[in-house]
Structure 1
Amino acid sequence: MDERKRDSMIAYLRHRMEEFGIKPEDLAAVLASEPAAQKAGRYRSATGDSWDGQGEMPQWLKQAISAGQSIDHFELSAAPAPAPQPKKRVDWQNDPFAGSPLARSNNR
């Protein structure tokens, strides 16, 4: 959907919500309580395709496995992935070799 259509749809929905007295909080509460919204897939691809493990295996997963990828790679964990730690910054102000021939050496 292009941006113009999206903006038009948002305006329409806001108008209709106002017309019926629906607040965004009401809508959010209903969406959060729906079982379909809570149903998560067991496997997910990098492009967002998912499969709950029931029924026939989807084509995207069959192709990945036949290409040598493990099915475990696509399995969703129950716990969220840990947040990446920020890289430690190096303080070059106190570097004893700054400006010396040793610091400019190309022998690495």
Structure 2
Amino acid sequence: MDERKRDSIVAYLRRRMAEFGIELDDVATAIAQDHLDEKSARYRSATGETWSGKGEMPRWLKQAISAGQSLEHFAVSDKLQQVPGAAKAGVNWSQDPFAGSRLATVHTSTIETR
């Protein structure tokens, strides 16, 4: 992102924050809460959606389970929580109901043409 575009976005955000009475401390608190929520996640989807295991089960998890996936498939291991961005080595793909189907098949010719 070039410097002018960045400065423009920062100015816009400052105007909107002033308009709604949002302080930097409010933003910092929200970010800290997001980090706490991320650490408390017990289940995570491939797209990064999380669920702590408390309250109503989210739609993405209900849909995956109704499609035949197990709840354990989405469990977050302790190692992955401690190392952000780590590969999902704790996922057991041998129990994937889509393994061997067209949904799990990747053709290199398709990837190269994109």
TM-score range, shorter chain: 0.3 to 0.5
**Could you state the TM-score of these two structures normalised by the residue count of structure 1?**
0.45
Structure with the bigger percentage of helix: 2
**Could you state the TM-score of these two structures normalised by the residue count of structure 2?**
0.43
